[in-house]
Amino acid sequence: MASIPTFIQDIINKATAAASASAPAMVSNANTPPKVYSPSMDEGSWWMFNQLRTTAEMDNLKLDPYNSFCNSYSSSNSTELNKQCGRLTEYNCKQVGCCVFTSNKTCEAGCATGATYSPNLDYYYYQNKCYGSKCPK
């Protein structure tokens, strides 16, 4: 059986202690949740709810390295984005959503429709998928 995380065990212990003070016969032991209501339970539950909600909200911000890179450069400044894409390795270039790795073996600003500044390419990689008529097999 998996152990209970410390912060949850602390909440259970506080709620159990509060419930024991008002109705000791209703609580079986310190390792089980209390069977009676106590206002201190609201605090612990609210804290736990907020921790879980905050974690979910942070996940939705897409702060992983690949999304952060693209979000760092405004779409209105494509020359700077192109310069920064050029500094990426081939692997990283193929991962981000704002750069393409070209048949010229360079990383440039672009999207699924191609490179922003190199329109006539044999092929290019966007998010690790090859596009074009001459993709390597």
Whether 3 contacts 12, CB under 8 Å: no
> Residue 19: pLDDT above 60?
no
- Mean per-residue pLDDT for 23-34? 49
Q: What is the pLDDT of residues 45-90, one digit of tens each?
A: 766 766 766 666 666 655 566 667 787 776 668 888 999 999 999 9
pTM, rounded to two decimals: 0.53
Domain boundaries defined on the chain: 78-131
Calculate the alpha carbon distances from 21 to 37, 43, 105, 127 in Å. Answer: 12, 17, 72, 60
